[in-house]
Amino acid sequence: MIEARRLHILRAVADHRTVTAAAAALYLTPSAVSQQLTALEQETGHRLVERGAKGVRLTPAGEILLSHTNAVLAQLERAEAELAAYGSGEAGTVTVAAFATGIAQVVAPAVARLAAKAPGIRIRVRDAEGDASLPMVLDRQVDVAVAVEYRGAPPADDPRLTHVPLYAEPFDAVVPLGHRLADTPEVPLAELAKDAWIGPYPGNPCHDVVVLACESAGFQPRLEHSSDDFRAVVALAAADAGVALVPRSALCGMDLAGVVVRPVDGVAPTRRVFAAVRRGAEGHPLIRPVLEALGEAART
């Protein structure tokens, strides 16, 4: 008999590629993870992982078991959801991880909606970028992630996750007040090829959006300054340190005195925001109202 707990450990090792990283994500010791993997190999009668200098990879037998693991864990999530529904599930805590603008745009309004509609549901919010929040969902550190599409992100049909689209928003060009393009109604990105750029660090989903937009315009941006805080990005642009692309919602309520904000000429780079939960958990009586509240907040 294969223990479901060990399947969860196998998936964590497959996701994180090292025993140490998987152990940290699961709040276990590396020796405990190794012991559970050994026990799983004994249960299945197959070698499931291979250890090398660059980490751990699954054997062909491990890959077969992993494909079933995703289905088994999703079914267990559904079982928990139905049991919670049977027990009414009117009160409890749901933890939501989201990036800062997403918190302001949809999470905070959803919290307010739930306080009125479902006062028994308590929301705990954690600030995390999209590339961090999805692993947090898979590792059961949080229940819901509000994330952004990015290169390398789990696709919408990933068997481990259920995606719920929320909203899409364009990036606007932010240039210093005295910039040569400050008076143009729309900024052609190709005209910024020789400028210094300010943008998020690699790994931040918005970094990918900026780089891909510039590559589509025919150049690689020269990123002179890096910050994941868009207030800092705008402040540096105001100090004539460079130009930037910033999501439109991130500019709301910001001091824009030293910069000019203009739409991008042509097809604007866009970030697409979605909520994600472990597959099977979308019907949980605590999680379902949270997803509905996030969707309502996004629509308004």
Q: What is the pLDDT of residues 14-35, one digit of tens each?
A: 899 899 998 998 889 989 998 9
Measured distance CA(204)–CA(213) in Å, rounded: 15
Q: Is residue 196 predicted with pLDDT exceeding 90?
A: yes
The pTM score is 0.72
pLDDT given for residue 181 in this prediction: 95
pLDDT given for residue 90 in this prediction: 66
Strand 144-148 and strand 92-98: pairing? parallel
Count the residues in the chain. Answer: 300
pLDDT-derived band of residue 87, with 50, 70 and 90 as boundaries? low
- In the chain, the amino acid numbered 100 is A
3-class SS of residue 273: strand
Across the strands, what pairs with 55? 52
Measured distance CA(153)–CA(31) in Å, rounded: 29
pLDDT given for residue 85 in this prediction: 64
pLDDT-derived band of residue 88, with 50, 70 and 90 as boundaries? low
Pair of tokens at residue 25 = 């994500």
pLDDT given for residue 86 in this prediction: 59
